Chains A and B, each alone.
Chain A
Amino acid sequence: MAALRTSPIFTALEAHSPEWGEHAGMRVALRLRDENAAKADTLALTDVSSLVRTGLKGPGAVQWLEGQGVPVPQGFNRWLPLPEGGLVARLARTEFLIEDGWAGGPVVRLAAALRTTVPGVYPVPRQDCAIDICGANAPDLFAETCTVPFALDPLEARIVTLTTMVGVGVTVLRHDVQGRPCWRVWCDGTSGPYLWETLTSIAAEHGGGPMGVRVLHGDISQPVAGTQGGRP
């Protein structure tokens, strides 16, 4: 079956002749033809836009989430991992971003529940571009592209930073993967290609580059037949 969704940076990834897989109805680049997996410890950028996510806001958002069994981060701009997989991030005061993990999570259930009108709770559909940036040189990339030194925040503080990166409004949090320091960056999908192209070009100067999801996240999908190195 053809994928129903397309990553905002599909075209940029296609230039790397990837081996495609499929996750949550979206083609994902499992492995790029020109990637050097050995650089993952140095600096790697991976498209994770296929992870499903939703959002909500409003004065009743905290109470509604608690009623749905979702843990609510205490304090503004904090996040928590979800027991079902994925994460919940509190953006400023009464807005939340909920994203599934690779193995699933509560997003589909919550999005369905949000279709029912609840006083003081407003759904915020999310079709973000999401990028994982990992490696020892990631802080150098951030220092060059962003004025807020969020890379200095300790992992255990689970801080969410809303700022701009190369002029694009982004939401950033640190969630280490397989012992590697890793930051997840979300931006509006329409800004995704610009953010991706700019960050990957600067990452090359720091010894890194784009990679498929397999390097960071393992076998999240089987390859789609006939896409090993060509158009899907």
Chain B
Amino acid sequence: MKLLCCPVNGLRPVSEFAYGGEVRAMPDPATCSDDQWADHVFNRSGIPGVKIEWWYHLPSGVWFHAERDVVADRVLRTWMPGEEAAP
């Protein structure tokens, strides 16, 4: 069973979580070009490696960040947005 550590609820089976996509900076919709906005809305990075992602713990409604090696599918650490990452 795959496990994921929610920063609030602790170690849980991955079936309790939903993937929320890679953490990405949003361009300023007031100043960016149509091409930049379309790129943000429709395109995702498929480059393998270590990525920072949004994950959601379904029973408690907690959104958090996870650093995950998407090649090995191994979560390196998880933390609450705006807080220091756990070592």
Query: Which of under 10, 10 to 19, 20 to 34, or 35 or more describes the interface residues of A?
Result: 10 to 19
Measured CA separation A86–B8 after assembly (Å): 25
For the complex of A and B, 3 pairs with smallest distance between CB atoms: A162-B60, A169-B59, A162-B59
Measured CA separation A41–B1 after assembly (Å): 33
Measured CA separation A164–B59 after assembly (Å): 7
How many A-B residue pairs lie within 8 Å, measured between CB atoms? Answer: 33
Give a binary string over A143-173; 1 marks a CB under 8 Å from any B CB, 0 the rest.
0000110000000000001111000011100
Residue ID in chain B nearest A167 by CB atoms: B15
Measured CA separation A210–B7 after assembly (Å): 36
Q: Are B8 and A163 in contact (CB under 8 A)?
A: no
Flag whether B16 is at the interface (Cβ < 8 A).
Answer: yes
Residue ID in chain B nearest A161 by CB atoms: B9
Interface of A is mostly: strand
Residues on B lying within 8 angstroms of A by beta carbon are 1, 8-9, 12-13, 15-16, 57-62
Give chain B nearest CB distance to A59 CB in angstroms.
12
Give chain B nearest CB distance to A190 CB in angstroms.
15
Q: Are A92 and B61 in contact (CB under 8 A)?
A: yes
Give chain A nearest CB distance to B29 CB in angstroms.
26
Residues on A lying within 8 angstroms of B by beta carbon are 76-77, 91-93, 95, 147-148, 161-164, 169-171
Measured CA separation A161–B8 after assembly (Å): 11
> Residue A92 contacts which of B9, B12, B13, B15 (CB distance < 8 angstroms)?
B9
